[in-house]
Amino acid sequence: MTIHQVETSLSVEKSIIILKQLCKVPFEYRLSDLVKLTNINRTTLYRILNTFEEQGLVIKTQQNKVYKLGPMAYQMGAVYLNSFEFSDKVYPVLKEIAAISKESVGLAVREGDRVISLYEIEIDQPLKMNYRAGLLYPMNRGCYGKCLMAYHNQIRVNDMLMEQTFEKFAKNTLTKPEDILNEYEKIRQNGYVISDEETYPYAVGVGIPIPNSSGEIKTCVAISFIKKGKYNKKIDELLELLFEHKSEIIKYMV
């Protein structure tokens, strides 16, 4: 590699780091915050952000001077979403599930080793889950990550578990690899996933795997709700609702 090629490669890597950071909560950052979080020097960071702003990948708000993803990033996301042939047909089914359950419903897919949500339908209620389409989900907590990693290549899954450590976000967050693997086995045996206070206090989710036409499981549909009172009966009712709609969703998978 020439010096110019090396510099170009490093610049691309830094650009990707910045975009990834802007995809994380709270989704908007001051320049000083980005310097700390990305470990990129202020001058380089400012130059890259200016280029992004010119191209519409990033916008800088005039009011509080924070950077966030811009319209071009949205356009790229829309192109990605439209690459899924089932997108227009599955959304009405998810809306129907949300209307019947009166709870938040979403769909996520596994792309390689990553789990990303494509749809999130959040109903109007006092307490919000604040799940958003486009977010990446971890392999150790929540319905999406646990369900889709349970059906991923288990040799690769073991490697992934050994490559990272897990933070305890709520009282039932799984942090030990052996516990996570046991949970995956339970999911495969039951054919569904339950997340009970793994992501946030009082947050509960139930989900089911959705196979494609080749029998591969790369999609999960889940319902989330806030725990109150006797919630075990509600878990059973929501799982039943998901299974009732499973065949309708499967027919759109490719």
SS3 sequence of 91-129: HHHHHHHHHHHCCEEEEEEEECCEEEEEEEECCCCCCCC
Top-confidence range, 112-126, 133-147, 162-176 = 162-176
Q: Report the C-alpha gap between 253 and 221 in whole angstroms.
A: 12
Instruction: Check residue 49 and give its pLDDT.
Output: 93
Instruction: Check residue 97 and give its pLDDT.
Output: 96
Among 146, 152, 125, 168, CA closest to 222: 146
Express each pLDDT in 19-77 by its tens digit. Answer: 989 988 788 899 999 999 999 999 999 999 999 999 989 989 877 789 998 888 877 77
CB 97 within 8 A of CB 248: no
Instruction: Check residue 206 and give its pLDDT.
Output: 98
pTM of the model: 0.74
Q: Report the C-alpha gap between 126 and 102 in whole angstroms.
A: 13
Instruction: Check residue 23 and give its pLDDT.
Output: 83
Instruction: Check residue 1 and give its pLDDT.
Output: 58
Token couple for 147: 């369900």
Which secondary structure element, helix H or strand E, spans residue 195, and what is its range? strand 193-196
Strands (E), 1-103: 28-29, 58-60, 67-69
Give the list of residues 6+ apart from residue 161 with CB closer than 8 angstroms, or none. 139, 177, 180, 181
Using a pLDDT cut of 90, give the percent of the chain over it.
65
For the chain, which domains are there? 3-75 (1.10.10.10), 84-250 (3.30.450.40)
Distances (CA, A) of 185 to 10, 68, 172, 182, 229: 41, 39, 17, 5, 29
